[in-house]
Every structure is written in C-alpha cells, then in structure tokens.
C-alpha cells in the first residue's frame, strides 16, 4: 500500500525537521557524527511516525516494538526523531554529549526511557536483537524487533554469528535495517574491508533480503511494510543512503563520518535544509 500524498509530504517534512535538529544538537555538542545521522533521518522518521508500534507516554509499554541502535554513534538521529515524536522536549537535544545529560554520545539504556540497550562497540546490536526476538518467540509475544546497523559494522564477526542464529530459529519478527552508505571513519567500506556480495551473505544465512532507497520516504515505508508482512525468515533491509544527506558539502564525504559542523558550517547546513523544507510538496 502506497502512502497517501499528504501523508508522504508530512513524513518528508518531519524528516527535514529531524535533520535540522541533528545539526543543531551536533554544533551545540561540539562533537559527534554527522554523515550517518543525517542519512538515516528518513528511516528513523518512517519508524517512529509510521511503522513502529510505540507510545511516547508509555515508553515501557509491554507490547511496544523494540528498536535497537547497533551503530550507536549515529544516536543524534535517534534522539532527534524521539524528541519530535514527543519522548522529551526538543530543547533537550542541545544537551547532547554534555556532562550528566541523558543524551550520551552512544545510547545508554539506564539514562533515557525507551532505549532498549546500551551501545558502543560495533557489531553487537544484532546479537542483542536476536536474543530479544527469540525470547519473544518463546513467550508468544507479538512485538517486532528492529535493529539499525551500519554497513561497516558487518565487518565484525559477532554480527554474523547472530545472523546465523536468527536464520536457524526463523525469527521472522526480527528486522535488520542496514545503513548502506559505503563509508566508515577511514574511508570507503569497499576499500577498508569489502562487504560485497552483501545481499548474498544475508541470504546465505537464511534471511530474506530487500533493498531500498533509504532517502526516499515512499520506498522506505513500503519496504518496511513488506518486511513486516513476510513470514518464515528474519528480514534484512539494505537501505542505500547518501552520507550527509540534505547538506550538500557533507554528502558522500567520508570525512564527515565522525565530526560535527562548526558554527558557520551549521548555519550553511540549516539554511540548505530550510530551503529544502519549503520545496517539499510543491510538486505534489
């Protein structure tokens, strides 16, 4: 089922607002990861505003879908999406990475309600998600488990051990969403440690795989919905994204993987995003 045009425009405007909040929080922090946070704004908007079952007023709701951010360094996008969804005030985003804040540089489960896990070392999130999905299956629970992963963390061995377990137990309510932006802190993934053939690897471990344009809201939502309707296998979605999406001087530049904008760069970025926001829906 396709999104209604009005709904698609609403989601695209929300994703743009999330990107603006990412820039504002990063420049306030003076540290953090820009490229991946920006490129996953569409996916997180789709999850929090269209696809996931959750309730900001009841973050510990037993039947909520679980969302794990394995690639914890892109937490600015999760925090921004959560704030816009009503989990906490928008102004709290400006406390990112500050001493004592709830918004740590990697998600910390005990500091902020609705965070399912604490992340840090890459490659662990899928194993945690497998455990949750397997436990839910044993208990007859209906919640889904979404694990957002980076492409580069698929270079970690634990990730593939988890994939093997997910395939063995047919964890159909487990969805691994891969940010396939082809970059990591030292350069391109295919130069540092090649991942291709990427899709075939997941399939070899017994997963059903879909690919989408991770920066196209219609494609993201329809692909997520298709994965949720599938049965018999865990689901992998390879979301092809543009690192730094929405900010021209950051796009496709791996050097923005692990650094924030300076004040003047943030002003340029926000100006671009505001201009883009005005154009959303103009051709509808």
Domain boundaries, the chain: 5-279
d(CA 77, CA 220): 16
For residue range 43-61, list pLDDT tens digits in order: 999 999 999 999 999 999 9
pTM of the model: 0.97
Q: What is the pLDDT of residue 243?
A: 98
Q: What is the pLDDT of residue 281?
A: 84
Q: What is the pLDDT of residue 284?
A: 53
| Cβ-count burial 203-231 (b if 16+ within 10 Å, e if not) | eebbbbbbbbebbbbbbbbbbbbebbeee
Q: What is the pLDDT of residue 282?
A: 79
Q: What is the pLDDT of residue 118?
A: 94
Burial of 237 (0-12, 13-18, 19+ CB in 10 A): buried
Tokens of 88: 């906490």
Instruction: Answer for the pair 41, 242: CB distance below 8 angstroms, yes or no.
Output: no
d(CA 119, CA 162): 16
The class that CATH gives domain 5-279 is alpha beta
Using 50 as the pLDDT threshold, list the residues of the chain that sit under it. none
């Amino acid at each position: 089922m396709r999104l209604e045009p009005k709904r698609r425009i609403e989601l695209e405007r929300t994703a743009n607002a999330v990107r603006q909040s990412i820039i504002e929080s990063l420049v306030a922090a003076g540290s953090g990861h820009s490229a991946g946070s920006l490129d996953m704004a569409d996916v997180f908007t789709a999850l929090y505003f269209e696809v996931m079952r959750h309730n900001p007023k009841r973050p510990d709701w037993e039947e909520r879908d679980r969302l794990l951010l394995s690639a914890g360094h892109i937490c600015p996008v999760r925090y921004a999406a959560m704030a816009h969804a009503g989990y906490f005030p928008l102004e709290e985003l400006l406390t990112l990475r500050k001493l004592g804040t709830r918004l740590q540089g990697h998600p910390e489960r005990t500091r902020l309600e609705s965070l399912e896990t604490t992340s840090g070392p890459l490659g662990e999130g899928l194993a945690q998600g497998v455990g949750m999905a397997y436990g839910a299956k044993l208990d007859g629970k209906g919640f889904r488990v979404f694990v957002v992963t980076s492409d580069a963390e698929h270079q970690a061995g634990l990730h593939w051990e988890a994939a093997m377990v997910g395939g063995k137990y047919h964890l159909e309510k487990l969805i691994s969403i891969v940010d396939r932006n082809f970059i990591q802190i030292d350069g391109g993934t295919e130069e540092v440690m090649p991942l291709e053939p990427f899709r075939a690897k997941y399939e070899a471990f017994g997963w059903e795989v879909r690919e989408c344009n991770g920066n196209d809201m219609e494609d993201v939502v329809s692909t997520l919905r298709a994965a949720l309707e599938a049965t018999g296998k865990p689901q992998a979605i390879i979301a092809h994204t543009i690192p730094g999406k929405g900010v021209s001087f950051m796009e496709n530049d791996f050097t923005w993987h692990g650094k924030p904008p300076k004040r003047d760069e943030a002003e340029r970025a926000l100006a671009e995003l505001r201009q883009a926001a005005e154009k959303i829906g103009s051709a509808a």
